[in-house]
Structure 1
């Protein structure tokens, strides 16, 4: 295992660059921190990661397990001191372990064919915490793909990745999809679209059962754009007996997805 002492090392420089979206987009890589996330990536048998470990963590049993499993997946392991880890970490009190991973991007054109199962479209969801939680919920519910419109926050930003708890690599991600593409997808994929809205909608428990389909969730403040709502086969909402105005979009997504996908 190589011990890195200089910030001019190529992988340290790479980790620092990946804090910026433009470099994540250019290099097709992203950062993932923390033992739980790293162990989840290991469990998924993701190959060719770069794992940077703080030297104080080297004797931890969790670290030993990660090193043993990662070697079989062709991971590169680098050892750094505490100051170097603080430099590249995205959290003030990190756990001393970080991965550089390849993005799990898919070509949206594959959606222009007959599809089966459940998919989710997020329209301009901008809060990183919401995005990461929805991603984790989609993976847990068995969604086959997450489709993001151009107005969404960067799904590979550090806070999104952290909120996803390693699930960011568990399902296909389709980014930067525009309205015209969604129209083409709707015409050709063969799946019904279900919007979440208050107007022209029915309570979600009155709809179904749904054997397969595409669920659409909208922006935290303005909801789903009218152009997308015009494509839906049915719109639904969650009744709120407590008379609050609305649910957080990540909570609403969990309620809807587990009701229809795992009844």
Structure 2
């Protein structure tokens, strides 16, 4: 309820065109598919994946940092991370992969490991109807970890016919996200964000667009509490 009140109040500090843009983009956002990045070494690659997530309407990205720390490359992400919901797992000395995948499974997501293996299921035959899924991409050199392979419900690959057996992670992610988000929009009715999540994200985006929003919001809430009293 308070989120709606704040959205209504803070909306006066952004242009109507910007507010309508936020709403139109959010209407196309989905959390039916989510992306997991495990120990991506090059910031360029991870940032490019974030950019693809934003372009294709995938809201949630889970960043697992067991060996490598992720830093956004602003020249590549082009601000995409600002509009995404990033979940970072970087507890030192812990198996962040296990914790993240268990969290996702508990939320009802299937774990889909992306692998350069011709024996894996083609992305074209993967059935999006069987429930939400998390698309897991591994590090540049080693791919997804053994832990991901043990916990995965599915293995998918991009069919290739050349001498090269794998694509750069950012290219592979873009191809898969374009394909899967198109399939989801065509076939999944309940693909959109819940009303609560929609409002949380809209409020966050509005806050990011208003200068000195902390002061403005604090003053408004103070006046609101006085009126209630």
Which TM-score bucket, shorter chain as reference?
0.5 to 0.7
Residues in 2 aligned to 1:142 and 1:152: alpha-carbon distance in whole angstroms: 26
Q: Secondary structure at the match of 1:206?
A: coil
Aligned to 2:98: 180
Q: Report the alpha carbon displacement of residue 152 of structure 1 after superposing the two structures with TM.
A: 4.2
Whether 2:139 is the aligned partner of 1:139: answer no
Partner of 1:171: 84
Matched, 1:228 2:144: no
Match of 2:164 in 1: 244
Distance 1:134 1:207 in 2: 21
* Alpha-carbon RMSD: 2.1
1:232 Cα deviation after fit: 1.2
Q: How far apart are the structure 2 equivalents of 1:144 and 1:249?
A: 19
Paired position in structure 2 for 1:208 = 127
Q: What is the correspondence of 1:57-76 to structure 2 with a 5 Å cutoff?
A: none
**Residue in 1 aligned with 2:71?**
155
- Residue 191 (structure 1) aligns with: 109
Please give the alpha-carbon distance, in whole angstroms, between the structure 2 residues aligned to 1:255 and 1:124: 20
TM-score (norm 2): 0.59
The answer to whether the 8 Å contact 1:117/1:144 transfers is: no
In the TM superposition, structure 1's runs of 4+ consecutive aligned residues that sit over 3 Å from their partners are none
Q: Counterparts of 2:50 and 2:31 in 1: how far apart (Å)?
A: 19
Richer in helix (by share) = 2
Long gaps (5+) in structure 2 = 1-12, 15-29, 91-95, 184-229
SS at match of 1:261: helix
* Structure 1 unpaired stretches of 5+: 1-71, 74-114
Give the whole-Å Cα distance in 1 for the aligned partners of 2:102 and 2:165.
34
Report if aligned partners of 2:33, 2:133 keep a CA contact under 8 Å in 1: yes
Give a deviation string over 1:153-197, Cα, whole Å, max 9, x none.
4233xxx12210111101111112503312431441111111111
TM normalised by structure 1 equals 0.52
Cα separation, 1, equivalents of 2:133 and 2:45 = 22
SS at 1:241 equivalent: coil
Q: Could you tell me how far apart the structure 2 residues matched to 1:170 and 1:116 are? A: 14
Query: For 1:247 and 1:141, how far apart are their aligned partners in 2?
Result: 19
Cα offset, 1:120, TM superposition = 0.5
Which of the two has greater strand per residue? Answer: 1
Does the 8 Å contact 1:122/1:147 carry over to 2?
yes
Distance apart, 1:116 and its partner CA? 4.9
How far does residue 132 in structure 1 lie from its aligned partner after superposition? 1.1
Structure 2 CA distance, aligned partners of 1:161 and 1:186? 28
